[in-house]
């Protein structure tokens, strides 16, 4: 009974239960605030708008987390008898010193906000930065992470992002030249191409009906018939692979030859 009494006496101290309450309330406030921010911000008219708002949610959540942490530390210090009013008053001078020491961090933070407000990119976009192309997988207060198809992840300080190519904001226009034998009649080839376009249209993600653009060139060994496909940037490579497979299947079915490079030699 004495042990139980000691435990109860220990737990009844305000320094103990007060600390537990502050930590629990801080955690609850963070999760509730994050949920509330998501409910308010994450609705959008289209996929890009939703991605942009999701990025803003992540950024605001990070800021909110640091605010909750600072307030929790101040309450804990006050609980243990530290004069927090004097501490807050001295933060003016300390803030100036910290500001000088953390200039790069502040630049990262400001650059992160600028990137979002000026629509540089958002989480989920495909971008190219210094010949590195990949998907933006995370954007924090200090840095942005870009992941390549092979799994490589580039981490960039936000202050260093002064120029980036965003290839996700507008649909990709895939242009495919179909090499075709000279022996195949143009009318017959174009009928097959119309069937190809109807099949390509069924591929998931196609924005508009694919178009037949006509004959683009008369090469040494083939005639090139050209089609264009409008689709999302993030899956353009898979859509192109699917389209090429459809083209080959229809050419084989209709017995239209895709020629090898040839050299025609004439003897006197």
- Tell me the per-residue pLDDT of 171-190, one tens digit each, with 9 for 90 and over: 788 899 999 999 999 999 99
pLDDT value of residue 196: 94
- One-character DSSP codes across 111-157: HHHHHHHTTS--TT-EEEETTEEEEEEEE-SSEEEEE-TTS-EEEEE
pLDDT at position 49 is 59
41 vs 152 pLDDT, higher one: 152
Contact 73, 91 (CB under 8 A): no
* Residue 61's pLDDT band (cuts 50, 70, 90): confident
Domain covering 172-253 assigned CATH 3.40.50.150 in the classification: no
pLDDT of 209 > 80? The answer is yes
**pLDDT > 80? residue 98:** no
Q: Is the pLDDT of residue 20 over 70?
A: yes
Is the model more confident about 31 or about 218? 218
Nearest Cα to 115, choosing from 61, 153, 166, 64? 166
pLDDT at 14: 65
- Give the Cα separation of 231 and 22 in Å (integer): 51
Give me the pLDDT at residue 36, please. 72
Q: Is the pLDDT of residue 104 over 90?
A: no
Report strand pairing: 172-180 vs 223-231.
Answer: antiparallel
| Whole-number pLDDT of residue 12 | 60
In CATH terms, 120-166 corresponds, of 3.40.228.10, 3.60.15.10, 3.30.710.10, 2.30.30.60, to 2.30.30.60
Q: Tens of pLDDT along 234-253?
A: 678 889 999 999 999 999 99
Is the Cβ–Cβ distance between 115 and 121 less than 8 Å? Answer: yes
Confidence of residue 19 (pLDDT cuts 50, 70, 90): confident
Q: Tell me 266's DSSP state.
A: -
Domains of the chain, by residue range, sit at 2-101, 120-166, 172-253
* Residue-wise pLDDT tens digits, 115-162: 776 777 777 788 888 888 888 888 777 788 889 888 888 988 888 887
Q: So what's the architecture of 2-101 in CATH? A: Orthogonal Bundle (1.10)
**Residue 195: pLDDT band by 50, 70, 90 thresholds?**
very high
pLDDT confidence of residue 131: 85
Least confident of 69-73, 168-172, 196-200, 220-224: 168-172
- 191 or 53: which leads in pLDDT: 191
Torsion of CA 44, 46, 51, 52, to 10 degrees: -70
């Amino acid at each position: 009974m004495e042990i139980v009494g000691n435990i109860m006496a220990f737990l009844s101290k305000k320094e103990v239960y007060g600390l537990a309450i502050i930590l629990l309330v801080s955690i609850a406030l963070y999760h509730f605030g994050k949920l509330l921010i998501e409910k308010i911000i994450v609705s959008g008219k289209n996929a890009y708008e939703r991605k942009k708002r999701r990025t803003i949610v992540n950024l605001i959540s990070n800021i909110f987390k640091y605010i909750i942490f600072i307030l929790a530390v101040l309450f804990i210090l006050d609980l243990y008898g530290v004069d927090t009013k004097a501490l807050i008053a001295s933060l003016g001078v300390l803030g100036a010193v910290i500001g000088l020491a953390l200039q790069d961090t502040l630049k990262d933070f400001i650059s992160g906000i600028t990137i979002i407000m000026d629509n540089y990119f958002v989480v989920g976009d495909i971008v190219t930065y210094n010949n590195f192309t990949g998907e933006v997988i995370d954007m924090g207060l200090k840095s942005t992470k870009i992941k390549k198809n092979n799994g490589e992840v580039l981490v960039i300080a936000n202050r260093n992002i002064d120029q980036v190519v965003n290839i996700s904001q507008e649909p990709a226009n895939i242009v495919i030249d179909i090499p075709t034998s000279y022996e195949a009649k143009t009318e017959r080839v174009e009928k097959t191409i119309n069937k190809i376009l109807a099949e390509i249209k069924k591929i998931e993600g196609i924005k508009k009906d694919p178009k037949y653009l006509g004959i683009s060139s008369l090469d040494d060994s083939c005639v090139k018939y050209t089609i264009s496909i409008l689709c999302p940037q993030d899956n353009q490579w898979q859509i192109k692979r699917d389209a090429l497979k459809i083209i080959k299947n229809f050419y084989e079915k209709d017995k239209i030859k895709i020629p090898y490079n040839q050299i025609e030699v004439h003897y006197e």
